[in-house]
Amino acid sequence: MRFLGLILLVLAGAASGLALPPVGAWWVLGLSFPVLLWWCEKARNWRSGFAGGLLFGLGYFCVAFHWIGFAFLVDADAYLWMMPFAVGGLALMMASYWGIAVALAVRLPLAFVPRFISIPVFLSGAEWLRGHLFTGFPWAAPGLVAEGMGAVLQAASLIGMTGLTLMVLLWASLPFALWRSRHQGFAIKLLLAVLAALLPVAQFWGVARLESHAVAFKPDITLRLVQPNVSQSDKWRSENAVVMLDDLVALSSSPVATPQLIVWPEASVPFLLDEEPEALRRIGEALVPGQSLLAGSIRRGADAGEATPYYTSIIGIDDEGRVTGRYDKWRLVPGGEFLPLEWLLAPLGFRKVVDLPESLSPGPGPQNLLVPRVGLAGALICYEAIFPHRLLADERPDFLVNVTNDGWFGQSVGPYQHLAQVRLRAIEQGLPVVRAANTGISAVFDSLGRSVIRTELGVRTAVDSPLPMSIAATAYAKWGDWSLLFIALLVIFLGAAAQRSHHAAARP
């Protein structure tokens, strides 16, 4: 019976992954998450709690991260053997956070606070740590489930993805808690009613927020997003360099409109763009007076003595082919752009997925790029857009520009989940986001996360869009994840008070 329970935990966790984009079946959590609560009700000690959280999380993260396996199919002869270690190992590592969180929640006396409160609180704390420790990896946080919940997602402007994670888990606990409350006192039932009421309240508030902010655009400013749709197997072939540059220039040029800003995706060309005078000259000739280009490119830094650093960057280029600014990515993808524990893993045959002779180096941190006639752009390259914290430089930009190459992940759920996290950043910060992706999905979101324009995945195209206006800094932009701590302490206090009231009423 215990073995069947362990299998059920894995299956329930896997089903929970269907609540994430692009499936968005958020209601599945109301069926799957109670399985973990049921297990914890019967847990005899913290070890049982750890096993429950670990196995439930393992199922969830295996489904949530399965798209990573597509990256190892690009050069299957070299990388395929690494796939189970990368996907399974990453899922197990992330699930360990959940195992520890549930173990702590089970260790907490049930008489102090109900499990339907303590487990969501500890799991949301684990999710916060997952986004910060060891460079952080907050992909597939349960708060992203709100992407499928309509206007509820607007609550991110108040509490961010981390606060949404806590609220989503509390709402997912309600079916189990309501079933258990038939034996509970009035205080517990009242607390459950309040938590349940917060869901329609969040929906109505989100609708009101959207209706009170009309979509507004900066006057006389147009953007062009270039999506060349180069397959990953062709991306780094030097013999394709001229053809790829020709295609990018062709997609950027149009006799119909003259955008002020053109955006190319991450690593748009297979050479060091800022070191190629001929390429810069061609770009300058293609740009009309007053136009600017932001292009994703690998660049080489100054010789640091032991090794020459390489960066994945956004390079600003003007209509004379001059480099006007650079931003270097500072949050690098573990296993992709650098190999963690390289001294240990490299001798075992492990390699980073990005095929460069050296690991990439991190840049100094958040930085804006000034785009003439357009404004101040906060720069995010690919993976950086999944982090809600340390997103902006000291000076608040006019918009965010995100360049990415999701070609690694083919026609999987990965690009859709990545896009959903980019949208969430727009809502959290109250800033429009301009996104150019190599194979898609390119998009422009306004400051409330509404889609202005969006391309299809796997299509060669260039699209024009006006630039949405920013709004005042949101509550989350000002206070960050302090909101998570406030909500967690509040629900723990209310849960403890309700539990005490129930036990007091039960005494003869």
Cis peptide before 22 (omega within 30 of 0): yes
Candidates 463, 461, 464, 460; CA nearest to 234 is: 460
pLDDT value, residue 357: 47
Res. 428: pLDDT tops 90:
yes
Helices 186-212 and 156-180: crossing angle in degrees, nearest 10, is 150
Cite the DSSP H helix spans in 108-135: 115-130
- Looking at residue 343, its pLDDT comes to 43
Rg (CA), the chain: 24
Q: CB of 429 within 8 A of CB of 390? A: no
Contact (CB, 8 A) for 266 and 235: no
On the question of pLDDT at 487 being above 90, the answer is yes
Q: Which of 159, 202, 164 is nearest to 20 (CA)?
A: 164
CATH topology of domain 218-470: Nitrilase/N-carbamoyl-D-aminoacid amidohydrolase (3.60.110)
Most confident of 237-251, 280-294, 322-336: 280-294
Report which of 362, 392, 406 is spatially closest to residue 135, judged by C-alpha positions.
362
Tokens of 415: 């690009």
Place of tokens 């857009």: 385
DSSP per-residue codes, 350-389: ---SS--SSPPPP-SS--EEEETTTEEEEEEEGGGGG--S
Q: Can you give the pLDDT at residue 185?
A: 77
Query: Tens of pLDDT along 91-141?
Result: 999 999 999 999 999 987 766 788 999 999 999 999 999 999 988 999 999
DSSP state of 275: G
Quick check: 277 pLDDT over 70?
yes
Asked if residue 143 lies in contact with residue 165, where contact means CB atoms within 8 angstroms, the answer is yes
CA distance 283 to 277: 10
Side chain identity at 111, as an amino acid letter?
A
Residue numbers annotated as active site: 266, 329, 382
Least confident of 43-47, 75-79, 299-303, 465-469: 75-79
Q: Which of 2-11, 51-60, 153-162, 454-463 has the lowest mean pLDDT?
A: 2-11
Tell whether the model's pLDDT for residue 19 goes beyond 80.
Answer: yes
Residues 164, 170, 174, 178, CA torsion sign:
negative
Token code pair at residue 440: 């898609």
Residue type, 116: F
High-pLDDT (> 70) share of the chain, %: 89
Q: How is 436-447 classified by DSSP, letter by letter? A: EESSS--EEE-T
pLDDT digits (tens, 9 = 90+) for 302-356: 776 567 888 999 999 999 999 999 999 999 887 666 555 554 445 544 555 555 5
pTM: 0.92
Residues facing residue 263 across a β-bridge: 225, 294
| 117 upstream amide cis, omega within 30 of 0 | no
pLDDT in tens, 73-95: 656 665 566 667 778 888 999 99
Q: What are the domain boundaries of the chain?
A: 2-212+482-506, 218-470
- Comparing 183 with 432, which gets the higher pLDDT? 432
Take residue 233 and report the two structure tokens written for it.
Answer: 């197997």
Identify the pLDDT of residue 480.
95
Task: For residue 125, give the amino acid letter.
Answer: G
Mean residue pLDDT of the chain comes to 89
H/E segment holding residue 109: none
Q: Which range is least confidently modeled, 55-69, 110-124, 440-454?
A: 110-124
